[in-house]
Structures are given as C-alpha cells and as structure tokens.
Amino acid sequence: MTQTLTITRMGTQGDGVAETPAGPVFAPLTLPGETIRAVLRDGRAEQIEILTSSPDRIAPVSPHYGDCGGCSLQHWAAGPYLDWKREQVRLALGRADIETEIEATVAVPPGTRRRLALHARRGPDGRVALGFKARKSWRLVEVTACPVADPHIVAAFPALARVAEAFLEHHKSAPTLHVTWTLSGLDVDVTGVERKSGGLSRDAQMLAIQAAADGDLARLSMAGDTLVMERQPKVAFGPAIVSLPSGGFLQAVPEAERAMVDRAVEAVRGAKKIADLFCGAGTFTFPLAMVAPVLAADASAAGIAALKTGLGTVKGLKPITAEARDLFRRPLAPYDLRGCDAIVIDPPRAGAINQTAQIAQSKAAVVVGVSCNPVTFARDARVLIDAGFRLERVTPIDQFLWSAHVELVGVFRR
C-alpha cells in the first residue's frame, strides 16, 4: 500500500525515519523534513518518491549512488551530516548516563581512503566484475569509480579484476580483495576462496601471480599467506617506516589516523611511561615514543614483529617494549601496567571491557580511548568513570565518509 510520509529524523544506520501509528518506518536515502510517497513493507519504505526535498539535500557525486550499498549519505550537506554524527556520539554516551564536551566532528576529504574491500563475481557473460554489495542485498554492484577511495586504487580497478579472475576457479568461491595503497604500491589480500575442494590450484596461483606482476602489485596474498611479493608494503607511523603484515590492520584514512594520533599524543604529554594497548603494528606506538617510553601489546604476533622491525628505521625515540598478547583473554593487570601513568587503548568494535576493568584499577592518571563503536566505547567509559576518572572530552572522527559509521577519541583523567 502506498502512503505519504514525513521524515522527522535520521536513524542510527543513516535511514530517514517517519513516525506512524504502526511504529517507525525507515526510508533509505531520505532526509529530515522531507515528504515522501512510498510502499511500506515490514517497517521499511520502498519505491520511494520524494515529494518535498530538504534544503539540506545536495547532488550525490558517485555514479553508483542509490544502487551501491556504500556512501549512502552523500546526498546530505556537510554541515548537518557532520552534526548528526556528533549527535550519534552524544546519544550513545547519554544511554550510559555520561555527559561531557563533544567536539565538532573531524571531517576527511573524498579520495583519501587507502583501504577497500572489493567483491569479485563472474557475470553471465563470463566477465569478472568488481564492486560492492547493493543495499540490503547480496547482489554485486560493479563499480567503475569510487569518490571516497584513493585515486591509485580506482586506477587499478581493471588490473584488480584480472587478478580476481584467478581466484574464481571454483564455482563456490566468492573472493573479496582487501586492497591497501601503501608507500610501496598496492597490497592485496584475497579471502573467500573455496578451500574444501583443495583450495587454489597451482595453475590458478600462477595466473594470479602473473596478473599481480602485470598490475605492478607490491604484494599479493591469500588469507594472509603471501603468493608473491615484488616489494615489501610499507607505511609510515610517525617517524618510523613499518613493513605492513599481510592482512594486518591499518586505519582506513591517513587523515583520520593523523587526527586520532595527534589527540592521543597531546593528551599524554608529560607522561613518564605510556601503555599502548591493541597497538597493531605501531600506529600510535611510534608517535607516543616521542613523548615517553612505551609498553605496547597486541594479539597479532605479526603486528608486533613488524613493530619491532620498524624500530630499526628511526632513531631518537624513547624505549619501546612490545609484547604479543591476547588482551581479551589475558588483559594487562595493574601489576603489568606499573609505572604507566598514561594509557592509550584502541580495541576492535566489541570494545575491551575486561582490559578496561584492569585499567580502572591501575595507577594511570590519563587514559585515551580510541573507538570505532560509540556504543561499546560508552559501556567501557562507564567503568572508568565509576572508578574515579572524568571523561574530559570526546572528538568524533568521520573516517568512513558518507556512511553511518563514526569513530572517536576520548580523553579520561583522574
């Protein structure tokens, strides 16, 4: 049944929301204040016709807008869009009964994302297509342009499609190319290859290796196992140059990473010793070591090994001690953190409630929490606040442009 609705607010996933007697209706690609006509199905609006547009609506820049499942908020003017992200942080903190200063959202420019996950499928005509999933669907939308991605990655789309073809050897394979632009060129790790049938054949591996050479890839790997490496992929963390582990974690946008690091370093100035937890390959470790000695820990042995190797590329830093340790199963206790008067923690989306509980019992005077999930950040923040910390301020960071995703940096002091 077709109905006329008025969008009153934005939902947490970036859909417009209309309130009806039957409950909220979620309308993708709409904005507050707009009047729409749509077919309603299970609380969602479909076949949407916009009758009255919001003054905040702008022209989308992607040719794939509306079909591609990414960048679903590029029709929204920058000011209200960034304010909405800030509001999502405020709401998450409010649900944990936390009030603090929330700074303006840090914006990142288009064309700066150095990491993409591209799905590969073979079409009915036999041609390999690369792209992203459609909205609320498993259907692949082939992309020829991506306004958020680094231009080096976009320029490599044809070469990456040729690389992907080798990984479609088995009809059950659904490869995803995790593409990273590094100082050494493109690093590609492929997942989703059928393994029960024996994995990729030797012939297919050779085809992949040849395609990687033709595309001038720095490295090609499959689920973290290197198939060929022409050049070691390298990234800069502060003054250090680090060899990126295959499949290793890296912040998606350098400008967003810089905003996080700058705020963390500023918050810990004057510290005598700093703990860097969930340190990866040293994103924060090396800049922090310009301030004070650092104790770094992460579950990734490859990340810790890369961090240690990176130590040889820079001089003049304070001492760094790095340990491979699962901080979920074996969080650092107050005894392990002795002498650390500042702690930086950057856990995965699930947060780190057990490690946070140990930090709360430590002698640290400053804690910097970096998070890609305001909800779990608020949950963990509540533990620190109940232990006597004050959440001094929070800075939202728009690392994933035109998405509903928001990241943040929070500074706690006793």
- Residue 50: φ, ψ to 5°: -85, 120
Q: Residue 231: which of 184, 189, 178 has the closest Cα?
A: 184
Q: Do the beta carbons of residue 364 and residue 358 sit within 8 Å?
A: no
CA distance linking residue 398 with residue 384, whole number of Å: 25
Helix axes 202-214, 157-166, angle to 10 degrees: 170
| Non-local CB neighbours of 169 within 8 Å, separated by 6+ positions | 200, 201, 204
Reading the block at residue 4, the tokens are 């006329």
Residues carrying an active site annotation = 372
* pLDDT score, position 82: 98
DSSP 359-408: HHTS--SEEEEEES-HHHHHHHHHHHHHTT-EEEEEEEE--STTSS--EE
* pLDDT score, position 138: 82
Host H or E run for residue 82: helix 78-95
Query: Any bridge partners for residue 396, and if so which?
Result: 408
CA distance linking residue 23 with residue 3, whole number of Å: 14
Mean pLDDT, the chain cut into blocks of 10 residues (414 residues total): 93 95 94 96 93 97 92 96 98 97 98 97 91 87 95 97 94 93 98 84 95 98 95 97 94 98 98 98 98 98 97 96 98 98 97 98 98 98 98 98 97 97
Torsional class of 308: left (φ above 0), alpha (ψ -120 to 50), beta (otherwise): alpha
* pLDDT score, position 339: 97
Host H or E run for residue 274: strand 274-277
* pLDDT score, position 126: 87
Cα dist from 232 to 6, 186, 229, 261, 379, whole Å? 54, 10, 7, 24, 39
* pLDDT score, position 327: 98
Cα dist from 24 to 6, 11, 47, 63, 66, whole Å? 11, 10, 17, 30, 22
CA distance linking residue 255 with residue 242, whole number of Å: 18
SS3 label, residue 414 = coil
* pLDDT score, position 170: 86
DSSP code, position 106: B
Reading the block at residue 357, the tokens are 């509980």
Neighbours of 55 (CB within 10 A): 10
Q: How many CA atoms lie within 13 A of 113 on its CB side?
A: 20
DSSP 300-350: -HHHHHHHHHHGGG--SPPPEEEEE--TTTSPPPTTTTTT--EEEE---TT
Determine whether 109 is exposed, middle or buried from the number of CB atoms within 10 Å of its CB (0-12, 13-18, 19+): exposed
Helix axes 78-95, 374-386, angle to 10 degrees: 40
Distance of CA 140 to the CA centre of its chain: 21
* pLDDT score, position 80: 98
* pLDDT score, position 147: 96
* pLDDT score, position 270: 97
Reading the block at residue 135, the tokens are 């909205």
- Domains for the chain: give ranges and CATH numbers: 2-57 (2.40.50.140), 82-108+253-413 (3.40.50.150), 115-234 (2.40.50.1070)
